[in-house]
Amino acid sequence: MGAGRRALITTAVTVVCAVTVLAAPGIAFASPSPTPTPSSSSTPSSSSTPSSSSSATASPTPVTNKDLEAVRAKLDDLYHDAAVATDAYNAAEEQAQKQSAQIVELAKKIVKGQEKLDELKDRAGAAARSQYRTGGLPDEAQLMLSDNPQAFLDGAGRILQGQRATKGLIAELTRTQDDLKQYTADASTQWQLLEKNRQAKAAAKKTVTTQIAAAEKLESQLEKKEKERLAKLEQQAALKAQTAWLDSGALKDISGKASAEGKAAVAYATAQLGKPYEWGAEGPKSYDCSGLTSQAWASAGDPIPRTSQEQWRQLPHVDVKDMRPGDLIIYFDDASHVAMYIGDGTIIHAPRPGRTVTIAGAGSMPILGVVRPDA
């Protein structure tokens, strides 16, 4: 490790930055410059080789807090991008499930419609066979040939009924055929949307795994003591943000009491403390951030959207000063993270890969706003 320790960390950050940029689609890069070929004059001689004694006495250069701050900032970026991609994956998964259900329902309608159409065709065929047995003459012609007045009157009524029935049969046949065409067209559209969301899911999954792998690679360059120092820096940054939020007076006006549903949601979330974060997970063994909040509110009898971005878009917004336990705090400008407020300026959330469901300060991350599932 020795004198190159700081260089190793700096290089790791640079390489991870390059890898994550290269992984992004639609970005073009210039061809690299050719590597210079060393000349004979540049060949190291024995006189320029460091002696064993000088290398042995080289003192290791410690990794500074500035280096670790660079690592922390990069890790934050990587995990934030992974969170955004996780939201995209969850949204595509939710849509795919809805489309699959719609396709199943349309298939059932198509089967029933085809059965109805077959029945109507049988009825039409029976009417045609009946006409054939009467010599092909329409009912009106046969009626005119009758010399029985009563039969004439009875027949006239039957003709009117028959005409109405025939018109009704034709109209029903037409409607059923139109319905079948529409069901088939709708099913085709849903199949196309399903395939589109499957592709979106696959792309999001690739982004998530790439970002997490890059973060894990960066962390793997650190020794145990450096990881401990990095963890302290993360805690200090969160504490600094929380203190600034509290000093702003945000908490002094918060006095709302939880609703019955809010208490149930908080109780569910609290019971998940210590369970690992896993992107795309909705429990019961692991969760991502919106998986935890959506399941908590589902358990309280008030289902909400699956993703943090849809929770922000669809649920009623409330002022921070009016929030109460059970409300959801949405973080970052892109609504890529969500946590549940539990009172006294604290939240329960599933932070990121490598962490567990935990309690944290509500102001430890940039707050976008607050939503209330049971408004």
By annotation, the residues acting in catalysis are: 289, 337, 349
Strands 317-318 and 346-349: unpaired
| Sign of the torsion angle spanned by Cα atoms 127, 130, 136, 142 | negative
Distance between CA atoms of 7 and 62, rounded to whole angstroms?
10
Distance between CA atoms of 252 and 322, rounded to whole angstroms?
11
SS3 of 212-247: the string is HHHHHHHHHCCCHHHHHHHHHHHHHHHHHHHHHHHH
Residue that has been written with the tokens 């410690």 in this structure: 62
> At 100, is the secondary structure helix, strand, or coil?
helix
Taking a C-beta distance cutoff of 8 angstroms, is the pair 62, 331 a contact?
no
**Residue 2: φ, ψ to 5°:** 45, -140
287 contacts: CB under 8 Å, gap ≥ 6: 272, 275, 277, 278, 281, 295, 350, 357
Taking a C-beta distance cutoff of 8 angstroms, is the pair 362, 341 a contact?
yes
CB burial of 274-307 (b: ≥16 within 10 Å; e: otherwise) equals: ebebbbbbbbeebbbbbbbbbbbbbbbebebbbb
Distance between CA atoms of 366 and 335, rounded to whole angstroms?
10
**Residue 30: φ, ψ to 5°:** -70, 155
Beta bridge partners of 330: 338, 369
Q: What tokens appear for 29 in the block?
A: 């890069």
